[in-house]
Amino acid sequence: MRLSSPREQKEPSVHRRVRGCAVALALFAAFVPGCSASAAPAKTSLPHQPGKPLPLERLFDTTAVSDDARPGEADFDGSGASLSARDLTAAGWTPGRVLTVQGARLRLPDRRPGTPDNVRSAGQDVRLSGRGDALALLVAGTGGDEVGGTGTVSYADGTHSPYRLTASDWRRGPLGTKAVALPHINTSGGQLAEQARLYVVTVPLVPGREVASVRLPHAPDLHVFALSVRATSPSWTGSWAASTSGYPALGPRTDRTLRLVVHTSVGGARLRLRFDNTFAAVPVRIGSATVAVQAEGATAQDVPVALSFRRAAGVEIPAGAQAFSDPLGFEVPPDANLLVSFHLPDTVPAAPVHRLAVQRSYVSEPGDHTADGSPTAYATVLTSWPLLTGVDVGGGPGSVVVLGDSITDGDRSTMDANRRWPDVLATRLRAQDVVPHYGVLNQGISANRVVTDRYPGDGVSTDHGGVSALNRFDRDVLAQTSARTAVVFQGVNDVRWGTSAQELIAGLRELADRGHARGLRMLAATILPCEGEARCTEAVDAERIAVNAWIRDAAEFDGVLDFDDAVRDPAHPARMLPAYDSGDHLHPGDAGLAALAESVDLRALVP
């Protein structure tokens, strides 16, 4: 399910379908925070009284979760089907538990299986408080198709803002945007081996205003389990980030410490880390974690400093959820490599991963080696980034988020050298004083597309191309720490694999609309020429040229980065200049990536 501003334009069906997936993922995330094992007795649900907002749990009128031994006690969809309490527990979604999804903390319904745990959306007024950038909801539909409607947020100062909420179906909705998927559905006739989905969605709020209540849409097939205000992070700036590109098998590994090397864009005197259990079906446990500045390889410059999670040494992250470390007083240098070490005490057969790190990290021999300053225990090299998705630093002006594919991911750039074009852009920002020294967050995924999923969004997979830009936009852009400006630099993989210019333009337009609805400055970069690569035929180049013409002329974005112009051969515009070509005719080499970053007018990044 996805919440959106009423300013959104009507979109082509392919666009709405992809967006619905993203909405579904967002909704699922919101559901996670409210489930914990010791449930309180159900309270009597009260009829809606317009003008009298009530806490959400006092409006619960539908039972979605059943004990597997007593499935008849729940009826989520009107046909006697329900969610399995055992499956939810296995995913770490226990009654009353607070989960963090897309940066929002959501409390799962604190109800026993077989008692009311959600509300059918019928215009109820829900009491809620807080200031933030978005309202987050854990939702699912039960009508068989996408369902939604409009609602209203009321603020303490007497003002209001409208929103539109859309939810995917709990049995048929896309897996690419789910927050969590469960392996069974309970029925009175027996358990079915069919996946149930929950979604987390967000809707924009007016910045700075205190929320007083939320009126839900009139959409009876839309079910709401939890909602909260996602707080902003004005005291933090994103310094490094990576997108989850898949959920591959990992060995499995047991009792190992991972020491990941990540490169900061900006520095600060405080630090916090973000770990994401994206796409997972089961929780993952981090036993302990440390951070240090890298000397070389797996060697720390000083003794690694221990991190905590809500004052505990470690944390269990439920399926589909995330965890932030507690703020740590730690001097983070800009333009430096950090060693982030975390111990996985349990067997981890698969994990969410960013596959193409273009950076060597390390895996230890058995044991907790997070406190080791020496590299002795770290005998195995790792070239991906599992679980870790963000490094934030205290203070700063906020971040520029780059949504891209393999060119942004740094494919064909020099290993361990940090020569991706967003790295070069960060260097330029640090070296000047005309615009703020923004953090730069690289959300590129190799093989990623705008309108089509490569990784299906569920289960263990060998494909690391990620879900589509449309389906990951909420998580990888809107939920990023202190995002101010987003750059969309994608599309070559779409046209190379048969997406028409019209379909791609629809997808790019939706990204612009969704970013604008959240107050982001949205920039688009033109698609690079790639003649000479096997799939870059004349027909593909014609589609690329049409998309680039639209980017330059349509004014749907707030600005254009003309990367095509920066690297193409003037004598042969369908190909890159040889000096910029890595040799495969698709990816620029180090010099070409630097040319992209050098072509950016830094003033265009300022909201």
| pLDDT tens track for 443-472 | 999 999 999 999 999 999 999 999 999 999
| pLDDT tens track for 53-71 | 999 999 999 999 999 999 9
pLDDT tier at 324, thresholds 50, 70, 90: very high
Residue 602's φ and ψ, nearest 5 degrees, are: -60, -25
Q: Does residue 86 carry a pLDDT above 90?
A: yes
Range with the poorest average pLDDT among 42-46, 324-328, 519-523: 42-46
- Rg of the Cα trace of the chain? 23
CA–chain centroid gap for 330, Å, is 26
Does the predicted TM-score (pTM) go above 0.85? Answer: yes
Residue closest to 228 by CA, chosen among 135, 316, 294: 135
Q: Does residue 142 carry a pLDDT above 80?
A: yes
- Contact between 490 and 449 under an 8 Å Cβ cutoff? The reply is yes
The rounded percent of the chain whose pLDDT value lies above 90 is 90
Mean pLDDT confidence for 190-217: 97
Amino acid type, 461: S
As given in the structure block, the two tokens for residue 350 are 């698969």
Mean pLDDT confidence for 503-516: 98
Mean pLDDT confidence for 546-552: 98
Which helix or strand (DSSP H or E) is residue 186 part of?
A: none
Mean pLDDT of the chain: 92
Residue 515's φ and ψ, nearest 5 degrees, are: -65, -40
DSSP 297: T
- Contact between 340 and 239 under an 8 Å Cβ cutoff? The reply is no
pLDDT tier at 234, thresholds 50, 70, 90: confident
Cβ contacts of 539 within 8 Å, gap of 6 or more: none
How far is the CA of 545 from the CAs of 501, 532, 539, in angstroms?
9, 16, 10
| pLDDT tens track for 474-499 | 999 999 999 999 999 999 999 999 99
Beta bridge partners of 343: 257, 288
**Residues making up the chain, counted from first to last:** 607
- What is the CATH number that goes with domain 397-607? 3.40.50.1110
pLDDT tier at 233, thresholds 50, 70, 90: confident
Q: Does residue 37 carry a pLDDT above 50?
A: no
